[in-house]
Structure 1
Amino acid sequence: MPTSAAHVPEPGEGDGPEPWPQGISRRATMRISDVLRALRTEFPHVSHSKLRFLEEQGLIETVRTPAGYRQYSPADVERLRYVLVEQRDHYLPLKVIKDRLAALDTGTETEAPVPRLATADGDAGAASARRRYTVEALAAAGGVDRSLVDGLVEAGVLRPTTGGQLDAHALDVVVLAAGLAEHGIEPRHLRTLRTAADRHVSLVQQVVAPWRSQQTASARAHADTLATEIGELCARLHTVFVRQGVDDLTR
């Protein structure tokens, strides 16, 4: 819950161990717009509602000005970045992330990530996540013949936007499809995999629909988090089924 805008101790002040990240200012002087500006180079879809939702879930604690506005510290920004990275890269539920932050705070987690303050430049990973490809550029990036990319589009495995562009995930699809092609598996054979994935997405959509239908920012942020977690569970379950079937073939 937000606290009043009283004095916030700097690192080294006060009793007890300093919460993670150590050595980063805990003076809450940043507005929510400042935090969004700092994070959006790496997380372009982060929103006001997302930050408020993470606060409601106890991932950070903001302070409030006398007028009731939230204020954040550089340390809060690093904690938010940690949460967003764990969600994006590892699909971890918020409960697990919260437990990990608690372990970092108490020092029981020894492999603490190195905090880095947000910069206006972002990084290569963030730029890559937002990249869009033409068919020709995608073929070049994947090191494959354009005919493979064309085949994936024709088979409905890849779906360009109305402007004819493909997102960053398409590069992974092309690289994996190229590996399968070496075993004689053609783009048309991958339609069933795409159909199965679409069914997974439909299942996720059904679960989060009640939350998305609500008009509150908190409910929409919860829907986004829930969709990510359920989607990853579906993907992992699909992987288990495939591995189980392959094991049966090799017995």
Structure 2
Amino acid sequence: MRATERRGAELLSIGAVLSYLREDFPEVTISKIRFLESEGLVEPQRTPSGYRKFGPTDVERLAYVLRMQRDHYLPLRVIREHLDAIERGEAPPALPAADSRPGPAEEADRGLDMVPVGGVRLGRAELLAAAGAEERDLAEWESYGLVVAGSDGGYDADTLQIARLVAELGRYGLQPRHLRQVKAAAEREVALVDQVVAPLRRHRNPQTRAHAETTARELATLAVRLHATMVQAGLRSRPN
């Protein structure tokens, strides 16, 4: 069915698909479309010269993915299960309630746990694709010190998470220059946590030194929760 549809339907370039999707998803980028392709969520045809050509089903799948991410905050793994069910002619799994998105404090907790501590190294192109950003975005983030490459020129998992969050804030109009205050606040919190764990890291007992890392992570979680809750409380106290 899908192959027949493609043979009889007009195929679109990635630029045309981008223009179409941006009517409903103004934050989408070519890097984002390429990333979703790399994750196997869409499989456009390729011309002999290597150009992508998208059929109606491809565009529908992209719109579905973007809608599930925007409206229901579903991870790609779950969205893939939805798409597989739809292709089998089955009803997709039930969607979470509209008000089930975690609050700032819970989101902060989840954010600390969703990124692995180490082992992940991304190149520049991989970071851009995973964050759904353009080269000019990354250059600006780096100019403000929000995103920093490692000594090998690569990016770790924490940096990827920062890039994603900076990109998301940018969609609400917050530019890198606005986020310098956030970076400065984070650096102050790091210094505060370090005051507690630095003596533990210098301790002679290896178990105590190992405990320093656990303590640092627990303190970081509490600090982020406090920050998020204070922001939420401050916004609620604003007059309407």
Q: TM-score, normalised by structure 2?
A: 0.49
Structure with the higher fraction of residues in helix conformation? 2
Q: TM-score, normalised by structure 1?
A: 0.47
